[in-house]
């Protein structure tokens, strides 16, 4: 196996014996072959799209779900991968029959063999490093596009679950995948394709924002209890609001408390979700602490998306997966034909387990500062900046992770001066979101914008403020400090770059798949800065302001 798609990759270079995330060589190799198949599908789809033919939505959905399946910490179940591989061959054959005659690459002409053993043998030719002769920068850009597409697919999946999609993004899955296997593309063309991936990331986040805010209304500030309450409970983790809604509907009046976990925390801001009284609070912290926090828990957990870690035996019988998430031996809740899910099993199990015995003292944190809520204060923000009461904004956003080096983000937030505000999004916020930051110019100093896909909300806020100041985003008193871990963060980074945003700090370490020349290009063009120390980066941000 060889995998270097996430930040915790072994030695900062690549996982070769097994994944630091828990991915076995078998899963890694099946994922390589699945991506190879998707590339083959894309090679046949591209000429059809260029001829103006549309690709069946079932095929788009298949490609989207397969890409998402291979994202870090999503699916560790061999059988799901084998099933997707078998389906991929049928789809490839269907498109092959429709595509014009021509010369197609090996990933297109390859035919999947029947057994898992043979698939694993064939997976060798699908590996990222298989072509030893490939130019390092080409490999780097191809990987960046592919990982950006994986992030996009996660957001696309969430939006489609709410019946929203973007035609442009649906086509781009094929165009982007084809670009990662097209030997005719020059470095310059691949750079353009990388930026196009960023544009599509903005587009899919916009669609997801429309889907979430239309279905559940615009988030508004809401206090969330982060301690536990007595009684049976279900913890829901991941990003899919529709799953939360269905769970809330099915548990209403049953005496079960629902806690969000990880990236589900911002759900408390949505009016159509927070109206449920038994959405009682948020449990635990960021994803990497789940094994400790779920250990022997007297309730159930539902994982709707990443990040899933190897479940310990002490809770393996009470954790459930749904959507494309999976772990060998973990119970899975499937989607019914009518588009709903039946959570009876998890509900009964939660009742049987009995839940927490005692209440803890309440501790509340504030969420719900999406673009709508934050921009409702735009006038006051602009006045405060003009009067010198609000000096600078820091967007400290992105993923959390287990590797050392992430204390930088806690320290950075702690050291932000009192006359500055902090915007945050995604699960990296758990490094500091239980601290009391007080207020500045009558506003909370810490504004929780939402999940990782709400990077779109942050862009909306920045763009509106830039308009109010009659300037551009790069001239605002704003510093962006990103923490990355998995491929949604890659999609977010490409989105921000495609919008021309410069001078972002990136950490805790740089992606292993970025070659030295590609890094130089990013530094020269976008002034990307690897994080150094919180003190130095803060000083430099405020000096340049
Ligand atoms: Fe955090 Fe994990 Fe949001 Fe990422 S819960 S690192 O997948 O998507 O952010
Ligand atoms: Fe390694 Fe990350 Fe790939 Fe898992 S997803 S195998 S930790 S690089």
Q: Which of 7, 406, 427 to mutate to test the pocket of ligand 1 (most atoms within 8 A of CB)?
A: 427
Q: For the domain made up of 369-544, give the CATH fold.
A: Rossmann fold (3.40.50)
- The residue to mutate among 306, 455, 456, 487, having the most atoms of ligand 1 within 8 angstroms of its beta carbon, is 306
What percent of the chain has a predicted confidence (pLDDT) above 70?
100
- Side-chain-side CA neighbours of 453 within 13 Å: the count stands at 30
Regarding the beta carbon of 203 and ligand 1, being less than 6 Å apart is answered no
Whether residue 21 contacts residue 74, with contact meaning beta carbons closer than 8 Å, is answered with: no
Q: Is 21 annotated as a binding residue?
A: yes
If one counts every other C-beta atom within 10 angstroms of the C-beta of residue 136, the result is: 11
Q: Which of 482, 393, 480, 478 is nearest to 443 (CA)?
A: 393
Tell me the CA–centroid distance for residue 430 and ligand 2, in Å. 22
User: Is residue 394 lining ligand 1, measured as CB closer than 6 Å?
Assistant: no
Pairing outcome for strands 257-261 and 529-530: unpaired
| Domain 222-353: which CATH number of 3.30.420.40, 3.40.50.2030, 1.10.10.10, 2.70.98.10 | 3.40.50.2030
Average pLDDT over residues 389-394: 97
- pLDDT, tens only, 249-297: 999 999 999 999 999 999 999 999 999 999 999 999 999 999 999 999 9
Mean pLDDT of 425-431: 97
The reply to whether 300 sits in an annotated binding site is no
User: Is 3 annotated to bind ligand?
Assistant: yes
Distance CA 257, CA 318 (A): 15
- Residue range 10-197, CATH number: 1.20.1270.20
**3-class DSSP string for 289-354:** HHHHHHCCCCCEEEECCCCCCCCCCCCCCCEEEECCCEECCCEEECECCCCCECCHHHHHHHHHHC
Indicate which atom in ligand 1 lies nearest the CA of residue 401. Answer: 6
List, in order, residues 6 or more apart from 158 with CB less than 8 Å away.
208, 211, 239, 240, 241, 305, 453
Report the distance separating Cα 231 and Cα 298, nearest Å.
9
| CA–CA gap between residue 366 and residue 434 (Å, rounded) | 9
Q: Ligand 1 pocket check: which of 22, 74, 262, 452 to mutate, most ligand atoms within 8 Å of Cβ?
A: 452
**Residue 444: which of 387, 529, 380 has the closest Cα?**
380
Question: Would you kindly state where each structural domain of the chain is located, as residue ranges?
Answer: 10-197, 222-353, 369-544
pLDDT band for position 318 (cuts 50, 70, 90): very high
Which pLDDT tens digit goes with each residue over 329-378? Answer: 999 999 999 999 999 999 999 999 999 999 999 999 999 999 999 999 99
Ligand index nearest the alpha carbon of residue 399: 1
- Ligand at minimal distance from the CA of 307 is 1
Q: List the residue whose alpha carbon is closest to atom 3 of ligand 2.
A: 3
* pLDDT above 60 (res 545): no
Whether 133 has a binding-site annotation, put simply, is no
CA of 408 to the centre of ligand 2 (A): 22
**Whose Cα sits closest to atom 2 in ligand 2?**
6
304 vs 302: CA distance, rounded Å:
6
Categorize the per-residue pLDDT at 403 as very low, low, confident or very high, splitting at 50, 70 and 90: confident
> What tokens were used for 299?
């309730």
Tokens 């491929």, located at residue: 487
Q: How far is CA 105 from CA 95, 183, 197, in A?
A: 15, 9, 22
Residues with Cβ within 6 A of ligand 2? Answer: 3-6, 8-9, 15, 19-21, 23, 28, 72
Q: What is the rounded CA–CA span in Å between residue 125 and residue 130?
A: 6
- The reply to whether 107 sits in an annotated binding site is no
Is the confidence at residue 420, as pLDDT, over 90?
yes
The 8-class DSSP code of residue 545 comes to -
pLDDT at 81 over 60: yes
Tell me how far apart the alpha carbons of residues 34 and 42 are, in angstroms, rounded to a whole number.
Answer: 12
Tokens of 484: 């990355």
What's the 24 CA to ligand 2 centre distance in angstroms? 10
In this structure, which residue's CA is closest to atom 2 in ligand 1? 307
Residue 159, pLDDT above cutoff 90: yes
Burial of 485 (0-12, 13-18, 19+ CB in 10 A): buried
pLDDT in tens, 96-128: 999 999 999 999 999 999 999 999 999 999 999
Report, in angstroms and rounded to the nearest whole number, the Rg of the chain calculated over CA atoms. 23
Task: Please check the confidence at residue 328 and state whether its pLDDT lies above 60.
Answer: yes
Ligand 1 center from residue 18 Cα (angstroms): 21
Nearest to 526 by CA among 197, 195, 202: 195
Alpha carbon of 141 to ligand 1 centroid (Å): 23
Reply yes or no on whether the pLDDT at 20 is more than 70.
yes
Q: Hey, what are 164's tokens? A: 């929203």
What's the pLDDT at 38?
Answer: 99
The answer to whether the beta carbons of residues 512 and 13 sit under 8 Å apart is yes
Among residues 225, 217, 236, 231, the alpha carbon closest in space to that of 275 is found at 217
d(CA 485, CA 318): 27
- Topology agreement, domain 10-197 and domain 222-353: no
Percent of the chain residues topping a pLDDT of 90 = 99
Phi, psi of 305 (to 5 degrees): -150, -165
Q: What is the DSSP letter of 15?
A: B
Interval 156-163 mean pLDDT? 98
């Amino acid at each position: 196996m060889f995998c270097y798609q996430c930040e915790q990759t072994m030695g900062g270079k690549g996982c070769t014996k097994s994944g630091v995330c828990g991915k076995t060589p078998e899963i890694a190799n099946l994922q390589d072959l699945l991506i190879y198949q998707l590339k083959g599908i894309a090679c046949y789809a591209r000429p059809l799209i260029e001829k103006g033919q549309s690709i069946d939505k079932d095929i788009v959905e298949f490609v989207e779900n397969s890409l998402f399946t291979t994202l870090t910490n999503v699916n560790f179940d061999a059988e799901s991968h084998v099933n997707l591989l078998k389906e991929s061959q049928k789809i490839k054959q269907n498109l092959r029959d429709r595509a014009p005659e021509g010369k197609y690459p090996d990933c297109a002409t390859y035919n999947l063999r029947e057994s898992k053993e043979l698939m694993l043998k064939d997976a060798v030719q699908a590996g990222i490093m298989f072509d030893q002769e490939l130019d390092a920068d080409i490999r780097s850009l191809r990987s960046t596009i592919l990982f950006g597409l994986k992030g996009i697919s996660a957001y696309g999946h969430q939006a489609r679950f709410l019946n929203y999609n973007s035609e442009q993004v649906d086509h781009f899955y094929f165009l982007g995948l084809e670009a990662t296997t097209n030997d005719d593309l020059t470095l310059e063309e691949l750079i353009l394709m990388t930026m196009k991936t960023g544009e599509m990331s903005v587009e899919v986040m916009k669609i997801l924002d429309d889907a979430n805010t239309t279905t559940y209304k615009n988030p508004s500030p809401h206090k969330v209890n982060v301690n536990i309450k007595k009684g049976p409970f279900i913890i829901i983790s991941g990003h899919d609001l529709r799953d939360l809604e269905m769970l809330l509907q099915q548990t209403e009046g049953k005496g079960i408390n629902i806690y969000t976990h990880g990236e589900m925390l911002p759900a408390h801001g949505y009016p159509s979700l927070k109206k449920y009284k038994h959405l009682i609070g948020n449990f635990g912290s960021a994803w990497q602490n789940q094994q400790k926090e779920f250990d022997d828990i007297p309730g159930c957990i539902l994982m709707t998306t990443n990040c899933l870690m190897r479940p310990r035996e002490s809770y393996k019988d009470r954790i459930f997966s749904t959507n494309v998430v999976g772990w060998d031996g973990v119970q899975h809740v499937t989607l019914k034909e009518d588009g709903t899910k039946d959570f009876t099993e998890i509900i009964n199990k939660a009742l049987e387990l009995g839940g927490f015995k005692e209440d803890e003292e309440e501790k509340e944190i504030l969420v719900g500062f999406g673009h709508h809520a934050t921009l409702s204060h735009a006038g006051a923000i602009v006045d405060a900046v003009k009067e010198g009461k609000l000096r600078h904004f820091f967007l400290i956003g992105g993923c959390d992770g287990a590797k050392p080096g992430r204390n930088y983000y806690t320290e950075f937030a702690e050291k932000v001066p009192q006359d500055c505000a902090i915007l945050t999004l995604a699960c990296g916020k758990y490094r500091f979101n239980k601290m009391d930051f007080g207020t500045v110019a009558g506003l909370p100093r810490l504004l929780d914008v939402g999940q990782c896909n709400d990077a779109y909300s942050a862009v909306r806020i920045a763009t509106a403020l830039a308009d109010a100041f009659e300037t551009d985003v790069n001239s605002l008193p704003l510093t962006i400090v990103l923490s990355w871990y998995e491929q949604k963060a890659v999609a977010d980074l490409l989105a921000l770059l495609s919008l021309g945003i410069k001078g972002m700090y990136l950490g805790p370490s740089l992606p292993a798949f970025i070659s030295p020349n590609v890094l130089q290009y990013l530094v020269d063009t976008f002034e990307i800065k690897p994080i150094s120390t919180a003190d130095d980066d803060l000083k430099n941000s405020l000096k340049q302001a």
